[in-house]
Amino acid sequence: MPQERKMTNVLTLDVEDWYMDTDISTWELYEDRVVESTNKIIKLLNESDTKATFFILGYVAEHFPELVERIRDEDHEIATHGYSHTPITQQTPSEFEEDVLKSVGILEKITGDKVMGYRACQFTVMEETAWAIDVLKKNELPAGAVTIWSGLP
């Protein structure tokens, strides 16, 4: 009989490509590496019998739905990283809500499952953007994975 295993660590990953801190209108100019890189990570996780939460950009999900399906099929948790990787500091509350809901809609359509969390890009949940947590709560999106940066190294 297998022993019951206790979780001792939590592993989370952002699914985005290296250039996705640039303007979204330029993303089509770059060679995508996100599928290959993420598949390598999934292989390593499988080899160590480890599960993770993948915070997936809606843009990535929209362009590579088979990657989202693979993550789901490997029994990893799927969460959103927003659609466009725009820092919350550069969005109004309504723009933020639209960006998050667009991503959630894409992910839920692909997986058939409820998205289980949100992570802001570039650590942009801070005092001046705390309103974002209210937007997440309003839309019944768990905000437990929101990373808040103190501004200290």
Got the DSSP string for 117-128? -B--GGG-BSGG
Q: Is the pLDDT score of 131 beyond 80?
A: yes
Summary mean pLDDT of the chain: 89
1-24 pLDDT, tens digit per residue, is 556 767 677 888 999 999 888 888
3-state DSSP call for residue 78?
A: strand
Domain ranges of the chain: 12-138
Query: What integer is the mean pLDDT of 129-146?
Result: 82
- Burial, 105: exposed, middle or buried (Cβ in 10 Å; 0-12, 13-18, 19+)? middle
- CATH code for residues 12-138: 3.20.20.370
Q: In DSSP terms, which residues pair with 60 in a beta bridge?
A: none
Give the per-residue pLDDT at 121.
87
| Tokens found for residue 77 | 């948790």
DSSP 8-class letter at 33:
-
Query: Taking a C-beta distance cutoff of 8 angstroms, is the pair 90, 74 a contact?
Result: no
Percentage of the chain modeled with pLDDT above 70: 90
94-113 pLDDT, tens digit per residue, is 999 999 999 999 999 999 99
Give the per-residue pLDDT at 126.
82
